[in-house]
Amino acid sequence: MRKVKVNTIYKHYKGDLYLVEDIIYHSETGEKMVAYRALYGDNKLWCRPYDMFLDEVNKNGQKYRFKEVKIESRNK
Q: pLDDT per residue over 28-57, tens digit each?
A: 999 999 999 999 999 999 999 999 999 999
Alpha-carbon distances, residue 42 vs 34, 37, 38, 45, 48 (angstroms): 19, 10, 8, 9, 18
Cα(7)–Cα(57) distance, rounded to whole angstroms? 23
Instruction: Count other Cβ atoms within 10 Å, centred on residue 66.
Output: 25
Cα(30)–Cα(50) distance, rounded to whole angstroms? 12
Instruction: Count other Cβ atoms within 10 Å, centred on residue 20.
Output: 19
Superfamily assignment of 9-66 in CATH? DUF1653-like domain (2.30.30.320)
pTM above 0.85, yes or no: yes
Confidence of residue 1 (pLDDT cuts 50, 70, 90): confident
